[in-house]
Amino acid sequence: MKFQLRKLEDQVLVITGATSGIGLVTARRAARRGARLVVAARNEQALGELVDEIRAAGGEAVYVVADVGNAEDVERIAASALQHFGGFDTWVNNAGVSIYGRIMDVSEEDHRRLFETNYWGVVHGSRAAVRLLRHRGGALVNVGSVLSDRAIPIQGTYCASKHAVKGFTDALRMELEEEGAPVSVTLIKPSAIDTPYRAHAKNYLEVEPMNPPPVYAPEPAAEAILHAAEHKRRDIYIGAGGRVLSSVGAGAPRFTDKAMELTTFKLQQSDEPSAPDRADSLHAPSRDGEERGGYPGHVAESSLYTKASLHPVIAGAIMVGAGLAIAALLRPPRTEVRDSHDRYASTEVGML
């Protein structure tokens, strides 16, 4: 079925995990562009502050305190959107948390809790969204990870949950397309992003965890999410680094295994000891309201690869123009030579 997604300024967006990192940046950008928002998270104080901020700037927003691992909480999010705005046009499943530690060290309780948020939160949100969108039309945007394509050690539980999100999202997309439902289903695949992700993660390591480079700012991810709200896209990678990891992992899996065994254990561990009373967000909300996580290394503020993937026609035109300009610069000068009749003829000197 052919259908058009609405312009962002005409939309109502539901965003889960809206009080930090990618979700917070996305909510603020969507509000500035005129979208009406239903924001959800577990931290009521941070939600209230976000909604007050949006309203003070002239926007419209409401919040719902919800744990996405609880289906009834997610249904309350949908009900709030219907009550305040008559429904929604885009639903963004963004809430997530991680665990740093070897799989055999992580308790079964923590394994299950992470899946409640990362996987079941997406299932609950997607089902609530599709029930309305298959009749109204709109976009479902699930925030996965490049680690749904290629697992890494020390975050095995997180990787497993994102593999599950990818499988669920891909299957749901096909089922909706087959029935002709007017629902665009997009999977966002961020690389490492400088958000409070590390601070919110449960840590089994003796030191504070660290993001492996390259690390990107949350803004490119937010831009991709909002692009998916207006344009039908299957998936979007955030950062060329993640796209390369996915491709190399698929093409040379054993080589990638060995390379990761040599590098990613160290790259995910800092020199700072982990405090015994360290707070995290696995089982309950912790500190929220921050977009960045304070990554100490270089943070790429944008991704040329992601920008090009969002606007392939423009990117292609730029590449063609650049190619013509380079060809013009490399073209050798025209020279005059005498022919066999002592007349001057014009020719171009070829390049080896």
Catalytic residues: 158
Residue 62: enclosing H or E segment and its boundaries? strand 61-65
108-118 and 156-179 helices cross at what angle (nearest 10)?
A: 30
Using an 8 Å Cβ cutoff, are 68 and 161 in contact?
Answer: no
For residue 232, what are its two tokens? 């039908």
- The residue whose two tokens read 């039309």 is 137
Pairwise CA distance, residues 154 & 144, whole Å: 18
For residue 256, what are its two tokens? 């990638």
Give the contacts of 29 (CB within 8 A, at least 6 positions apart): 219, 222, 223, 226
Q: For residue 216, what are the β-bridge partners?
A: 193, 300
Q: One-letter amino acid identity for 146?
A: V
CA-based nearest residue to 148, from 18, 249, 15: 249
Using an 8 Å Cβ cutoff, are 100 and 205 in contact?
Answer: yes
Main-chain phi, psi angles of 147, to 5 degrees = -75, 0
